[in-house]
Amino acid sequence: MDKRYEKLLESRDYVRSRTDFRPKVALVLGSGLGGFASELEVACEVPYSDIPGFPVSTVPGHAGKFIFGTLEGVPVVCMQGRVHFYEGYDISDVVLPARLMRLLGAEILFLTNASGGVNKGFDAGDLMLIVDHNLMFFPRNPLIGANIDELGTRFPDMSHVYDPELCDIIRETARGYGMDLREGVYCQLTGPSFETPAEIRALGALGVDAVGMSTAVEAVAANHCGLRVCGVSCVANKAAGLSPTPLTHEEVQEAANKAAVKFTALVKGSIARMK
């Protein structure tokens, strides 16, 4: 059996030994949503470090666990903390959690993150519905290697990675709250250095609206294994060259924390409509 699939099944069996909870929606909590778990009626928590072989993040503010619970009656599994490619993990480990949540029963993957605003009209604190992504500069498509046939097809279509119906639900939720919601294309780069102004100008010319270091590889792997995907990005800062101040991780976290109340409301309200 494919080693990556074997590891996935081992992770699934371990989680199943802890809980028989079947989530409908899987939610990846990015910067600013770390406190989201308090919105759930929690049924069970499984720290990543308990799962044999599971990748555990080294980034401050990303300490990780799965939280199973219900949100407005919808069974949800939250990933509090994710691993990034720049931490040195194999790309198959970076996308293992998304695949695992599929095997645990999830039908929808809701991705969130913090990003830098490439679109000159975006400000720090804006929320952006991810309508498409650009992964062309990322060195490793997560589906490289023998296809895992048990999960999906060799050449999956990526015309609608971000499910149009789910995008509509998020738009309607924002409208219902009278909340401004930006929309755009998210580009994932490896990091961990922030971009140069020249890189940001190049991305802008290519139609990118926001840039970050996560999410798109998860979206590809999720799409491959049959999850319906949606995503919202918190624009934590204007990207390099568009603001006079140098970028820091602390600034990103602070801006994401400031947007946390509206970000939480948008995600919670949207999931409630995904029954």
Name the site residues for ligand HPA (rule: CB under 6 A).
114-116, 194-195, 211-213, 236-237, 239, 247, 252
Establish whether 141 is a catalytic residue: no
Establish whether 249 is a catalytic residue: yes
CA–CA gap between residue 141 and residue 145 (Å, rounded) = 9
Establish whether 160 is a catalytic residue: no
Q: Which of 92, 214, 223, 270 is catalytic?
A: 214
Establish whether 57 is a catalytic residue: no
- Comparison of 173 and 257: residue with beta carbon closer to ligand HPA: 257
**Residue nearest to ligand HPA according to CB distances in the complex:** 116
- Comparison of 73 and 244: residue with beta carbon closer to ligand HPA: 244
Q: Is 177 helix (H, G, I), strand (E, B) or coil?
A: coil
CA–CA gap between residue 224 and residue 155 (Å, rounded) = 9
CA–CA gap between residue 234 and residue 40 (Å, rounded) = 21
Q: Which of 48, 62, 113, 223 is catalytic?
A: 62
Angle at 163 between CA 79 and CA 36, to 5 degrees: 25
Q: Which of 72, 179, 249, 265 is catalytic?
A: 249
The nearest distance, CB 256 to ligand HPA, in angstroms, is 8
The nearest distance, CB 123 to ligand HPA, in angstroms, is 13
CB 252 within 8 A of CB 147: no
The nearest distance, CB 266 to ligand HPA, in angstroms, is 18
The nearest distance, CB 272 to ligand HPA, in angstroms, is 27
The nearest distance, CB 33 to ligand HPA, in angstroms, is 14
For residue 65, what are the β-bridge partners?
Answer: 47, 80
Establish whether 87 is a catalytic residue: yes
Establish whether 213 is a catalytic residue: yes
Q: Which of 26, 79, 114, 221 is catalytic?
A: 114
- Comparison of 153 and 190: residue with beta carbon closer to ligand HPA: 190
Cβ-based neighbours of 112, under 8 Å, separated by 6 or more? 27, 28, 29, 30, 32, 33, 231, 232, 233, 234, 263, 267
Residue whose entry in the numeric block shows the structure tokens 């939720």:
173
- Comparison of 238 and 268: residue with beta carbon closer to ligand HPA: 238
Closest by CA to 260, choosing from 15, 65, 34, is: 34
Closest by CA to 32, choosing from 99, 111, 113, is: 113
Supply the residues annotated as catalytic: 31, 62, 84, 86-87, 114, 213-214, 237, 249
